[in-house]
Amino acid sequence: MIFPVYGRTFLEKAAARAPTNGGHRMRQSKHRALRDAGPVRPAVVVSRGRNRAWAALEDGSGLLLCDYPSLAELPVVGDSVLVRADTGADGEGMIVEVLPRQRSIVRVTAGGERKVMAANVDLLVIVAALARPDLRYGFVDRCLAFAEHQRIAPLVALTKADLADAASIEAAVELYRARLGYDLVVLSTVEHRGIDLLAARIAGCRALMLGQSGVGKSSLFKALGADRGARVREVNERTGRGRQTTTSSRLAYLGHGFMIDTPGVREFSLADLEPGEIAAAFRELAPYLGRCRFPDCRHLQEPDCAVKAAVEAGYVAAVRYASYRRALEQAARSLLE
């Protein structure tokens, strides 16, 4: 089942329907009435704006545009919630409770700010472009490390294969699939390459799509049949990047699971992890951890480091080691800010 999805602009306009002052008092009165009237119904939050959220009723009967006053925990996309419908306003209601989350996906920015991106996710789809812009290995590696630390299954989705040369595709596939053993799919929405494979992989999962702006997430969302109205714009010729077309998280049901599309992420940091946790999140480093001269080795400049020796011998890819070093540097900077 597929529900239409909406961005923040729509939600903010909807939230602005109620006038201030008298309108605010009327809304408070409505909230009191809704808290005590009618049965509660289970739903899933599919999009949230600044003041209101869209919730899809779990029986498939439709969407409710909901207020969420006085909640101790603000709802996020993917949350299971209990709602009450407003019998006096068709299609509107109120979230009365956010149910306990199985898992929260928390992103820590390079500045140390924590942002809950989504809830109840069991598959992290890491979307990165092979061309225009070039593949950002560091971003992919930080997302993979995040998934490892959170114990969420990752899927690397490499887009824009129609714009990339064969050597670039082969290098990425060899690193992530052959050497590291990650699930990976090569995609082109223009050629419909890999779309059916991606849809089959997502079906039955609660998937979160995570990627930087302009890598083609909205195009993928549309190609999978999950977005009936998203506009996909051309890549900016000056920067080589696509223009961001998603302004807030949104969710759609696919194959008895759901997929969440998030706004483009400019930065993704492992700032809340200790150095040892970051090293452990790079799976190929595991055989060498604990074999260095110093127990607290960070695998940077220390002598007799087993990790650095593995990099020099070619057992650990240099590009992955560079990503590890950058992740450590970002985490260290966040502690100083």
**pTM, rounded to two decimals:** 0.78
| Burial of 178: CB neighbours in 10 Å, binned 0-12, 13-18, 19+ | exposed
What is the number of alpha carbons within 13 Å of residue 292 lying toward its C-beta?
23
* Cβ atoms of 287 and 50 closer than 8 Å: no
Of 281, 269, 285, nearest to 329 by C-alpha is: 269
Which pLDDT value is given to residue 38? 67
Amino acid at 122: D
Task: Give, rounded to a whole angstrom, the gap between the first and last alpha carbons of the chain.
Answer: 45
User: Going from the N-terminus, what domains does the chain have, and what CATH number goes with each?
Assistant: 8-98 (2.40.50.140), 104-261 (3.40.50.300), 275-336 (1.10.40.50)
- Mention every residue, 6+ apart, whose C-beta is less than 8 A from residue 322: 137, 138
Which pLDDT value is given to residue 110? 59
Which pLDDT value is given to residue 182? 98
- What contacts 24+ positions apart, CB below 8 Å, involve 99-105? 103/150, 103/152, 104/76, 105/150, 105/152, 105/208
* Positive/negative CA dihedral, 116, 211, 332, 239: negative
Of 40, 83, 44, 98, nearest to 249 by C-alpha is: 44
Cis peptide before 154 (omega within 30 of 0): no
Which pLDDT value is given to residue 18? 39
Amino acid at 192: H
Q: What is the DSSP string of 183-213?
A: EEEE-BTTTTBSHHHHHHHHTTSEEEEEE-T
Measured between alpha carbons, how far is 183 from 201 in angstroms, rounded to an integer? Answer: 10
Measured between alpha carbons, how far is 17 from 324 in angstroms, rounded to an integer? Answer: 48
Measured between alpha carbons, how far is 272 from 150 in angstroms, rounded to an integer? Answer: 12
Which pLDDT value is given to residue 267? 63
Measured between alpha carbons, how far is 247 from 262 in angstroms, rounded to an integer? Answer: 8
Q: Tens of pLDDT along the chain (337 residues)?
A: 334 343 333 333 444 443 344 444 445 555 555 555 668 999 999 888 778 888 888 887 888 999 988 787 889 988 999 999 876 556 899 999 999 998 888 877 656 677 788 899 999 999 999 999 999 999 999 999 999 998 999 999 999 999 999 999 999 999 999 999 999 999 999 999 999 999 999 888 889 888 888 898 888 888 887 643 333 333 333 333 333 344 456 777 776 677 887 765 656 678 888 999 999 999 999 999 999 999 999 999 999 999 999 999 999 999 999 999 999 998 887 666 5
Measured between alpha carbons, how far is 92 from 84 in angstroms, rounded to an integer? Answer: 9
Which pLDDT value is given to residue 171? 97
* Cβ atoms of 9 and 52 closer than 8 Å: no
DSSP class of 39: -
Of 135, 264, 157, nearest to 211 by C-alpha is: 264
